[in-house]
Structure 1
């Protein structure tokens, strides 16, 4: 995926490819928004970031994926999202842009940053050949659902998940 950094909200925020050092602040942002009932028990041991760092390495190595670090003017993580291009045979061989893990730091919500991030994501999808943008949202995040609807997304499908236990 060929993604270019972009200025958001009049240059106050910058989107860039996340780096390894961004993993810890991004994980803190994700966990802060996670409904308590969905919390996953941390991996015991000396490095609780280890599974996240492995996931980051896989994302960073895959050209169909882009993990965004959105920085504020002080260089701190203000938001994040992950983009994945998915070529499909369905819908006339459409390329889909999957948007995942859209999160804005709590102190920056309701100022247009999330909308600017989504506008940027949609534009990047188009630039990379996507003809459809899709996302999922936790059923309990009702304010996120209202946000996505304001961004022009329709709740068109019912999603299903199956958690797989670790292999012995």
Structure 2
């Protein structure tokens, strides 16, 4: 049996099309992601903003030189909890044909390790309410559904 080695690293602009394809292939996301070349400038602009932010990092998971997953982390500091910082994990996506191989768990473990290394108070994220399989996955990893999230779409 061959052991897979997943490499997690910061995304580069060269990864952008593979990352876009991950989200465009997601029927549940509802974000309107597309591989249409006309949308590429929007994605490039977002990548530039993320890359320039000291509080945001976009990552990819690679297997055999191919991007098979992605996630983003953000650090936020609030006055609550005596000014503690927390990590927010967003945009977790594993390529559809690679699900069930531990790639998502590897990505989350990587983010949690970064949170430990940087002294975060907690790690949190939101997950689309329709993603019941994802919720079970996150609970298996030790997360608890402790809060209810609210959103207001502006665009």
TM-score if structure 1 supplies the norm length?
A: 0.83
Are 2:1 and 1:12 aligned? no
Q: Deviations over 1:90-115 (max 9, x none)?
A: 12222100000111112221121211
Summarize the alignment of residues 95-114 of structure 1 with structure 2, pairs less than 5 Å apart.
95-114=85-104
How many angstroms does 1:47 deviate by?
2.3
**Unaligned stretches of 5+ in structure 1?**
1-9
Q: CA separation in 1, counterparts of 2:9 and 2:27? A: 24
Task: Note if 1:70 corresponds to 2:85.
Answer: no
Q: Pick the aligned partner of 1:40 from 27, 32, 38.
A: 32
* RMSD of equivalent CA atoms: 1.9
List gaps (5 residues or longer) in structure 2: none
Segments ≥4 residues shifted beyond 3 Å:
none
Instruction: Normalising by structure 2, report the TM-score.
Output: 0.90
Between stretches 105-114 and 153-162, larger displacement belongs to 105-114
Give the length in aligned residue pairs. 152
Aligned to 1:3: none
